[in-house]
Amino acid sequence: MNKNSEKRICQNCKKDFIIEPDDFGFYEKIKVPAPTFCPECRMIRRFSFQNTWNLNWRNCDRCGNRIISVYDSETKITVYCLNCWWSDIWDGSEYTMDYDPSRPFLDQVKELIDKTPYSSLQNDHVTLKNSDYSNYIGWSKDCYLVFWADFCDNVFYSSILNTLRYSSDCLRAQDSELCYESINIDKCYQTFFSEECDSCVNVWFCRNCYGCINCFGCANLHGASNCILNVKYSKEKYIKKLKEFKVNSWQKLQELKQKAQDFWITKPRREYAGNSLNFNVTGEYIYESKNSRNLYICDGAEDCKWTQLITVKTARDCMDYSGWGNNSSRIYECINVGENTNSIYFSCFVWEGSMDMQYCYWCMFGKDNFGCVNLKRKQYCILNKQYTKEEYKKLRDKIIEDMKINPYVDKLSRKFFYGEFFPLEFSKFSYNKSNAMRFFPKTKEQALAEGYSWSDKPDTIHETTIEADFLPDTIEKTNENILNEIIRCLNCNRGYKITKGEFDLLHKMNLPLPHECSKCRENRRFSRLNLPKLYKRICAKCKKEINTAFAPGRPEIIYCESCYNKEVY
């Protein structure tokens, strides 16, 4: 194993990056060369291959039905509805290709990528019930416009979830119920307009509270009850004050939200967000993980590095892995791989117990496949063609050697030898419609200069029937006729509707109708998240240097973990 750190120059951004001795050890263990892109460029490249949040209308290319899809009608590929794609009437072996050693192997994979049929949505279709308008979701029922979620029930307009029930407008929520407009919550019940709360019940506008009951506008409290702005009240006085706040009024909620956030900013934050059940980790939004570095939104990561969006435990011994875990191990340079998967490299959308696969794209229930696309339940395949075990291993080894001397060269002359993820131009999504735009915003000029594509297609504009300004201030004053209206968003002027399930849930919570469309609400929640980038900063208390997602110059008070624990616990 290489015992020294080594500085390399990223062939994409041309900046220096460091490969550590442990990194070399990982590459040697899985028998792949070191990467030529820096960690951030690798992450952005992977994110550009997924579109979680932008849905479009188009027709199924098999049955002809009108469907919701992550691919717009202008994308020149074959798209099947979920029923057709998951059916047994085809399995991908209809598109076999023979390996041509005179051509770069990735060029041949691209040919398969361009001609095989795709699932309209990135869903575990057979595990879903009544959740047709959600994407990247599994094991859920009665969900509407829910994204990146598992094990959810009666949830609306929410993202990055694991086991959320009867809730709406939440972001990164787990094991919680009856929650609204909350971010980064775990094991919470009746939690509203709150952030970074764990094991709380009936809290409003709280941040970083643990085990709290009946609290309002609080920050950094543990085991507290009947508190308002961190001040303790009797139970009777707390209930009286809560009634005075009139949280059933839309107008009052806007005032209370600003007051709470002004209070939050006066209280210190830990250098990273997450719970206290971590050991030897760095990154942001980390939960119950250990011995891992540079994580982002990870729950149950062990011995991982440069890993993001592990939303179902666990992920072990992984690097450069972007979603989603669920008992996966030894995953390298992959996006959207999970559920009992092992030894998957340089791949996208490989699910359901797949093992020992490289350069695969939309493959399910597979083992020992190399360079396959939209293939189901197959073993020992290359370019979707079936081989014997001996033939497969011999040809796979030859292709790997060929890739080392005959790389794919993209339109910007970047070379993709064996050991690199797919080239940027293989993605079926324009940059501004992909997950990359959500976490790494770029201008059109920047994206095009870096080799990404861009969509100038405007959003669909619907005729509206009522202005948001004219909505009733409380849900009690709102009748079901509102379900027939198309409301003009207070922020962007897009039209939006209230669904029956959402209306019933708001009635149950005694909360007013939203005055903004679901897209504006989603964007506002995401704006509250830190992005997957760490900065050097000084602890505001002890002055030691720390790595944090809070950029220097931001107004938050940031403590190192030690100082934070001393003050808060």
Q: What are 280-339's pLDDT values in tens digits?
A: 999 999 999 999 999 999 999 999 999 999 999 999 999 999 999 999 999 999 999 999
- Count CA atoms within 13 Å of residue 203 on its CB side: 39
User: What is each CA distance from 463 to 44, 55, 154, 227, 466, in whole angstroms?
Assistant: 36, 19, 28, 45, 10
Check residue 276 and give its pLDDT: 80
pLDDT at residue 268 is higher than 80: yes
User: What is each CA distance from 439 to 46, 148, 526, 527, in whole angstroms?
Assistant: 12, 15, 9, 10
pLDDT at residue 569 is higher than 90: no
Check residue 175 and give its pLDDT: 98
Query: What CA–CA distance (Å, rounded) separates 513 from 489?
Result: 12
Residue 410 carries which side chain, given as an amino acid letter? D
Check residue 568 and give its pLDDT: 86
pLDDT at residue 274 is higher than 90: no
Tens of pLDDT, residue by residue over 38-61, are: 999 999 999 999 999 999 999 999
At residue 189 the predicted structure's pLDDT band, cuts being 50, 70 and 90, is very high
The total of other beta-carbon atoms located within 10 Å of residue 404's CB is: 12
pTM: 0.96
Tens of pLDDT, residue by residue over 114-170, are: 999 999 999 999 999 999 999 999 999 999 999 999 999 999 999 999 999 999 999
Check residue 460 and give its pLDDT: 80
User: What is each CA distance from 110 to 113, 334, 452, in whole angstroms?
Assistant: 5, 17, 16
pLDDT at residue 3 is higher than 80: no
What average pLDDT does the chain have? 96
Query: What CA–CA distance (Å, rounded) separates 331 from 338?
Result: 9
At residue 275 the predicted structure's pLDDT band, cuts being 50, 70 and 90, is confident
At residue 227 the predicted structure's pLDDT band, cuts being 50, 70 and 90, is very high
Whether 177 and 183 have beta carbons less than 8 Å apart is answered as no
pLDDT at residue 461 is higher than 90: no
Check residue 459 and give its pLDDT: 82
pLDDT at residue 469 is higher than 90: yes
Query: What CA–CA distance (Å, rounded) separates 196 from 183?
Result: 6
At residue 2 the predicted structure's pLDDT band, cuts being 50, 70 and 90, is low
Query: What CA–CA distance (Å, rounded) separates 452 from 534?
Result: 24
Q: Which two tokens stand for residue 64?
A: 């002809």
